[in-house]
Amino acid sequence: MRVLPFKISNQQIVKNGDFTHITKGTKNYLQCKFEFENSEDWRGCTIIAAFENQQKECAVVVSNDLTCMVPNEMTDSKYFKMRLIGVRDSKRINTNRVLISQEG
């Protein structure tokens, strides 16, 4: 399994490691790992990772260990985008989108 690390500060998400040589078409292999700075805004929220590529959009709930798998629907394109959404009661917080390129 390959872990793709991200850092979140308030509403900004950035890549936090090596994102080179990701090969498109891999299935059940890519995992996102999130690290929050200034995480008070996100405390108590259900966190959802929203993914999109040229053909599809899908979302997965981030687990309590702050990880989620990249949906297989995202791995067949040259790139996909991802952002986080936090929901608690009537509150909703969004991050910017980050682009992940895939080779091959």
Q: pLDDT tens digits for 73-94?
A: 999 999 999 999 999 999 999 9
Distances (CA, A) of 63 to 2, 21, 25, 37, 101: 17, 26, 24, 18, 24
pLDDT grade for 40, boundaries at 50, 70 and 90: confident
Phi/psi-derived region of residue 29, left when phi > 0, alpha when psi is between -120 and 50, beta in every other case: alpha
How far apart CA 60 and CA 80 sit, in angstroms, is: 14
The yes-or-no verdict on residue 4 having pLDDT over 90 is: yes
Per-residue pLDDT reduced to its tens digit, 7-39: 999 999 999 999 999 999 999 999 999 999 977
pLDDT of res. 45:
96
Write down the pLDDT at residue 66: 97
DSSP structure string for 8-72: EETTEEEE-S----PBTT--S-EEEEEEEESGGGGTT-EEEEEEE-SS-EEEEEPPTTSEEEPPG
Per-residue pLDDT, averaged over 36-61, amounts to 94
